[in-house]
C-alpha cells in the first residue's frame, strides 16, 4: 500500500435516499481503480460495502461502511452510508470525519423524501457537497427533472458540470468543464473521449459560461481575470469551483451510471483534483480551544468515530487522523481517561477486508484492533498535547420501549448484548429504570428497533419483546391539610410511643415562608426524582426532642417514595411539624418514623392529591400542505401547540405533548405524511393529569 500525504487524501461520504445507488457506486469505484477484480452487486449480496448478514437479508445498507479507492496518485476514502432516516446516527458519525459529501440522486425520481430528510440533517455541517445524478441508463431516468429538483432543494448556486446524451444508441456524457464528450461501450469502463457534437455546442457553451461565471464569483482574482479575458481556463475554473464548494456557495452536478460503470472514473478525477481535502478545510478547534492542524508534523490526534465487534476479530476501532501521523506500535494517550493505548496494528478497512499498513498521516482514515480503554468519541493523542477532539453529537432518541427477554434466563445476556449494541451504535440507549422496574431502550424509529431485534436474535441468540414503557407519573397535592398521628405500643416489654401534628401544603418556587408558626429550623430536600420536600421544625416548648425530628422526616420521605395515590413518586410538598408528644421511656426513632409516615400519608390524601404526568417537547417538520393532518393528530394527543416556524416549503410545529400520548408517534407521522415528516422530542416538565385520565389511573 502506497503512503499518501495529507494533500493526496480525500474523504467523502456517500449520502442520499434509499436505493439511489450509493453502495453500487462505491463498488464500481473500487472496481474501476482495480482494487477488486470482480464487481459485486447488491442483488448478488456480494458488495464490499454491504457485507453484514442483515444488509444481505434486507438488500440495503444498515451501517456506514468505510472503504477506499485509489485514483491517479490520490487516495479517496469513502464512507458509504445508509439512506433510511432511522439510521441517521451512522450519518452523524460520518459527518465528523469526512471533507466533502457526494449526494447521490436517483435519475428516476430526482430529489426524494429521503433526500430531503438527509439534506435537512447534513446541511447544518456545511460540508462541501457535490451532487451525482445516478442511473442515467435507466429507461425512466429524467436528468432534467432531477436537476431541477436539486436546484429546488438547495436553492442556490447549483451548477451543471455534465449532462447525459445518447448518440447512435451509445450512452454519452457531455462534460462542460472539459468541453469534451465521453462515449461509453455497453460494458462502461474507460470511455472514448470525443469532441462535443456540433448540434450540442451551443447548449454546452451556454452551460460552460454559466459555470465560469459562478466559478469566478468565489474569488476576487478570478473575477478580475474573468473581466479581463471574458473567460477562464480549466485550471482557473477548478480553483473557483473548489473555493465555491469550500464556502458552500457552489454545488456541482455530475451524471453517472454506477451500475454500468459510466462516468465513475471522471467523478473520481474530479474528487482528486477539485474536491477539498482535509488540509484545505478550516482547521477545527479542540474542546480546549487548541487549533488542530491537519499536518503530519503537528502532534498526533486520532478521533475514534466508530466501534464495531466482529466475531472473529473482536473490537475494531475506526479513527480519523486529525493531525500528525500514526505508526505501528505508537503509544497514545486517551484524552478521556488518560490511559495509554498501544496501536499494535494499523489497518485500512474496506468492508470486511483489511490491509495492514505501517503508518497513516493526517487526514487519513484507518482502523486498529483490541484497544483496551477506548470507545467511540474518544481522542487518542500524543501525551501532553492536551487535545480533545469535539465529540459527535448524536440525534436525540425518537422512540422508547420497555424490553425484556422472552426467556427469563436470558435477562443478563440481554443486558450485556444491548450494552454492546449501544457501544457500536450510540443512538441506541439502554437503561434500567428502578422507578418503572423496566429496562428502557430508546432509538431512532420502528425500523431501527427492528434492526436491534434482528441483531439480538441473530448475533446473540436472544428473543426479546418490546412494549410500551410504563409512564413515570408523579403525585402532588393541591391544598393544605392538617393531621396528627399517635403511634403507641405499650403492652409488655419495651414500648413504642410517638405523636406528631403536621400541616402540609403544596410547595412552589418563591413561595413565602409559612405564617402562624414558630419556625425554628428548615430543611430543603431536592428529591432524587425531581421536585422538593421542605420540612419545617415548628416545635414549641420542646414537646418533641430535636433528636427525633430526622426520624419523622425519614418516615415522610418513605411515603413520598411510594406515593399514597398510585405508588408513584410524590413531589413539591412542604411540611410544618408543629406539635406532638413523647414518652420518657417508650419514645424512640422507629416510633417517630412510623408516626411521621402515617400522619403524612393521611394529610396527603386529604390535601386534594393530584397526579402529574411527564410532558415532552415536540418539534415536527413537515411540508406546508401536510400541516393540517399533523395538527389534527397532535390535538388528538392532548398537545398544546406552542408555535410554528416556516422554512422554505416546510413548517416546523412546536408543541408540548404528554408522553403517554406519544406512543407510536413515529409510525403515525410516517403514515399521515407519506414519510415526509420528521420530528424530534425530549422531556420537558411535569404537568397535572386531566381529571378523567387520573380517575382511570387511580382505578388501575
Ligand X SMILES: Nc1nc2c(ncn2[C@@H]2O[C@H](COP(=O)(O)OP(=O)(O)O)[C@@H](O)[C@H]2O)c(=O)[nH]1
- Binding residues for ligand X, rule: CB under 6 A, are 16, 18-24, 41-43, 60-61, 83, 104, 134-135, 137-138, 257-259
Residues near 668 by beta carbon (within 8 Å), at least 6 away in sequence: 633
Q: How far is the CB of 318 from Mg ion (least distance, A)?
A: 18
Cβ neighbours around 507 below 10 Å, total: 18
Question: Closer to Mg ion at the Cβ: 84 or 232?
Answer: 84
Q: How far is the CB of 50 from Mg ion (least distance, A)?
A: 6
Question: Closer to ligand X at the Cβ: 21 or 366?
Answer: 21
Q: How far is the CB of 13 from ligand X (least distance, A)?
A: 12
* Contact of 14 with 80, CB cutoff 8 Å: yes
Q: How far is the CB of 35 from ligand X (least distance, A)?
A: 17
As to burial, measured by CB atoms within 10 angstroms (0-12 exposed, 13-18 middle, 19+ buried), residue 516 is exposed
The residue among 186, 181, 145 whose CA lies nearest residue 165 is: 181
Q: Minimal CB distance to ligand X: which residue? A: 21
Cβ neighbours around 445 below 10 Å, total: 21
Question: Closer to ligand X at the Cβ: 23 or 129?
Answer: 23
Work out what residue 315 binds among Mg ion, ligand X, none; the CB cut-off runs from 5 to 8 Å by kind. none
Q: How far is the CB of 161 from ligand X (least distance, A)?
A: 18
**The 3-state secondary structure of 158-193, one letter per residue:** EEECEEEEEECCEEEEEECCCCEEEECCCCCCCCEE
Q: How far is the CB of 254 from ligand X (least distance, A)?
A: 12
Question: Closer to ligand X at the Cβ: 107 or 246?
Answer: 107
Work out what residue 428 binds among Mg ion, ligand X, none; the CB cut-off runs from 5 to 8 Å by kind. none
* Contact of 641 with 654, CB cutoff 8 Å: yes
Question: Closer to ligand X at the Cβ: 23 or 286?
Answer: 23
Among 10, 20, 21, 23, which residue interacts with Mg ion (rule: CB under 5 A)? 23
Cβ neighbours around 340 below 10 Å, total: 12
* Contact of 48 with 28, CB cutoff 8 Å: no
Work out what residue 20 binds among Mg ion, ligand X, none; the CB cut-off runs from 5 to 8 Å by kind. ligand X
Work out what residue 266 binds among ligand X, Mg ion, none; the CB cut-off runs from 5 to 8 Å by kind. none
Give me the DSSP letters along 267-285.
HHHHHHHTSPPGGGSPPEE
Q: Facing residues of 403 across strands?
A: 439, 466
Cα angle 410, 414, 418 (rounded to 5 degrees) comes to 175
Report the distance separating Cα 614 and Cα 400, nearest Å.
14
Work out what residue 135 binds among ligand X, Mg ion, none; the CB cut-off runs from 5 to 8 Å by kind. ligand X
Work out what residue 138 binds among Mg ion, ligand X, none; the CB cut-off runs from 5 to 8 Å by kind. ligand X
Question: Closer to ligand X at the Cβ: 134 or 694?
Answer: 134
| Gyration radius of the chain over CA positions | 32
Q: How far is the CB of 135 from ligand X (least distance, A)?
A: 4
Q: How far is the CB of 43 from ligand X (least distance, A)?
A: 6
Q: Is 65 an interacting residue with respect to Mg ion (CB under 5 A)?
A: no
Report the distance separating Cα 62 and Cα 590, nearest Å.
59
Work out what residue 363 binds among Mg ion, ligand X, none; the CB cut-off runs from 5 to 8 Å by kind. none
Q: How far is CA 377 from the centre of its chain?
A: 13
* Contact of 543 with 585, CB cutoff 8 Å: no
* Contact of 322 with 403, CB cutoff 8 Å: no
Q: Is 61 an interacting residue with respect to Mg ion (CB under 5 A)?
A: yes
Q: End-to-end distance of the chain based on CA atoms, in angstroms? A: 67
Report the distance separating Cα 500 and Cα 283, nearest Å.
67
Which residues within the stretch 346-385 sit at the binding site for Mg ion (CB under 5 A)?
none
Q: How far is the CB of 267 from ligand X (least distance, A)?
A: 12
Work out what residue 24 binds among ligand X, Mg ion, none; the CB cut-off runs from 5 to 8 Å by kind. ligand X
Question: Closer to ligand X at the Cβ: 110 or 363?
Answer: 110
Question: Closer to ligand X at the Cβ: 135 or 476?
Answer: 135
Question: Closer to Mg ion at the Cβ: 56 or 404?
Answer: 56
Report the distance separating Cα 562 and Cα 161, nearest Å.
68
- Tell the residue number behind the cell numbers 482574482, with chain if given: 221
Q: Is 277 an interacting residue with respect to Mg ion (CB under 5 A)?
A: no
Q: How far is the CB of 608 from ligand X (least distance, A)?
A: 58
Question: Closer to Mg ion at the Cβ: 22 or 676?
Answer: 22
Helix (H) or strand (E) holding 552: helix 549-561
The count of chain residues that interact with Mg ion, using the rule CB under 5 A, is 3
- Footprint of Mg ion on this chain (CB under 5 A)? 22-23, 61
Amino acid at each position: 500500500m502506497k503512503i499518501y500525504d495529507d494533500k493526496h487524501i480525500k474523504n467523502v461520504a456517500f449520502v442520499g435516499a434509499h436505493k439511489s445507488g450509493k453502495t453500487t457506486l462505491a463498488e464500481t469505484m473500487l472496481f474501476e481503480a482495480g482494487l477488486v477484480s470482480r464487481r459485486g452487486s447488491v442483488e448478488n449480496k456480494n458488495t464490499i460495502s454491504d457485507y453484514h448478514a442483515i444488509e444481505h437479508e434486507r438488500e440495503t445498507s444498515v451501517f456506514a461502511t468505510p472503504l477506499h479507492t485509489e485514483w491517479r496518485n490520490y487516495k479517496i476514502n469513502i464512507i458509504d452510508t445508509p439512506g433510511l432516516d432511522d439510521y441517521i446516527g451512522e450519518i452523524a458519525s460520518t459527518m465528523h470525519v469526512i471533507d466533502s459529501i457526494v449526494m447521490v440522486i436517483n435519475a428516476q425520481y430526482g430529489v426524494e423524501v429521503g433526500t430531503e430528510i438527509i439534506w435537512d440533517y447534513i446541511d447544518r455541517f456545511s460540508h462541501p457537497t457535490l451532487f451525482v445524478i445516478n442511473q442515467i441508463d435507466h429507461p425512466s431516468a429524467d436528468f432534467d427533472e432531477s436537476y431541477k429538483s436539486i436546484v429546488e432543494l438547495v436553492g442556490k448556486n447549483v451548477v451543471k458540470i455534465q449532462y447525459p446524451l445518447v448518440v447512435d444508441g451509445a450512452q454519452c456524457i457531455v462534460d462542460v468543464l472539459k468541453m469534451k464528450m465521453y462515449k461509453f461501450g455497453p460494458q462502461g469502463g474507460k470511455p472514448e473521449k470525443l469532441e462535443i457534437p456540433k448540434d450540442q455546442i451551443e447548449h454546452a457553451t451556454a452551460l460552460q459560461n454559466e459555470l465560469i461565471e459562478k466559478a469566478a464569483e468565489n474569488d476576487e482574482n478570478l473575477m478580475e481575470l474573468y473581466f479581463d479575458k471574458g473567460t477562464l481556463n480549466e485550471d482557473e475554473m477548478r480553483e473557483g469551483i473548489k473555493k465555491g464548494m469550500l464556502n458552500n456557495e457552489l454545488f456541482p452536478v455530475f451524471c453517472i451510471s454506477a451500475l454500468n460503470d459510466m462516468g465513475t472514473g471522471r467523478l473520481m478525477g474530479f474528487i482528486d483534483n477539485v474536491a477539498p481535502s482535509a488540509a484545505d478545510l478550516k482547521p477545527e478547534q479542540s474542546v480546549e480551544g487548541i487549533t488542530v492542524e491537519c499536518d503530519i508534523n503537528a502532534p498526533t490526534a486520532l478521533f475514534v468515530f466508530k466501534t464495531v465487534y466482529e466475531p472473529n476479530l473482536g473490537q475494531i476501532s475506526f479513527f480519523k487522523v486529525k493531525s500528525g501521523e500514526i505508526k505501528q506500535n505508537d503509544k497514545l494517550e486517551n484524552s478521556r481517561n488518560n490511559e495509554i493505548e498501544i496501536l499494535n496494528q494499523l489497518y485500512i478497512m474496506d468492508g470486511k477486508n483489511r490491509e495492514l499498513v505501517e503508518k497513516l498521516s493526517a487526514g487519513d482514515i484507518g482502523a486498529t484492533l483490541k484497544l483496551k480503554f477506548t470507545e467511540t468519541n474518544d481522542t487518542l493523542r500524543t501525551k501532553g498535547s492536551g487535545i480533545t477532539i469535539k465529540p459527535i453529537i448524536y440525534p436525540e432518541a425518537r422512540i422508547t420501549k420497555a424490553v425484556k427477554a422472552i426467556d427469563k434466563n436470558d435477562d443478563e445476556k440481554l443486558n450485556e448484548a444491548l450494552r454492546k449494541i449501544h457501544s457500536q451504535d450510540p443512538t441506541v440507549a439502554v437503561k434500567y429504570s428502578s422507578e418503572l422496574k423496566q429496562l428502557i431502550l430508546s432509538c431512532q424509529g420502528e425500523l431501527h428497533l427492528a434492526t436491534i431485534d434482528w441483531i439480538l436474535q441473530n448475533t446473540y441468540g436472544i428473543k426479546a419483546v418490546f412494549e410500551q414503557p410504563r409512564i413515570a407519573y408523579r403525585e402532588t397535592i393541591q391544598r393544605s391539610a392538617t393531621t396528627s398521628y399517635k403511634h403507641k405500643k405499650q403492652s409488655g416489654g419495651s414500648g413504642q410511643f410517638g405523636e406528631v401534628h403536621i400541616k402540609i401544603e403544596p410547595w412552589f418556587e418563591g413561595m413565602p415562608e409559612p405564617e402562624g408558626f414558630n419556625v425554628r429550623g428548615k430543611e430543603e430536600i431536592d428529591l432524587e426524582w425531581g421536585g422538593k420536600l421542605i420540612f419545617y421544625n415548628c416545635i414549641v416548648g420542646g414537646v418533641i426532642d430535636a433528636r427525633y425530628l430526622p426520624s419523622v422526616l425519614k418516615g415522610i420521605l418513605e411515603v413520598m417514595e411510594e406515593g399514597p395515590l398510585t405508588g408513584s413518586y410524590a413531589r413539591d410538598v412542604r411540611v410544618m411539624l408543629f406539635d406532638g408528644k413523647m414518652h420518657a421511656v417508650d419514645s424512640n426513632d422507629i416510633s417517630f418514623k412510623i408516626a411521621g409516615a402515617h400522619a403524612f400519608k393521611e394529610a396527603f390524601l386529604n390535601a386534594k392529591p393530584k397526579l402529574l404526568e411527564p410532558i415532552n417537547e415536540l418539534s415536527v417538520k413537515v411540508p406546508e400542505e401536510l400541516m393540517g393532518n399533523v395538527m389534527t393528530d397532535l390535538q388528538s394527543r392532548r398537545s398544546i401547540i406552542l408555535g410554528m416556524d416556516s422554512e422554505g416549503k416546510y413548517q416546523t410545529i412546536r408543541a408540548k405533548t404528554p408522553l403517554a400520548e406519544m406512543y407510536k408517534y413515529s409510525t403515525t407521522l410516517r403514515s399521515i405524511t407519506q414519510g415526509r415528516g420528521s420530528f424530534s422530542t425530549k422531556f420537558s416538565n411535569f404537568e397535572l393529569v386531566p381529571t378523567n385520565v387520573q380517575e382511570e389511573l387511580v382505578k388501575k
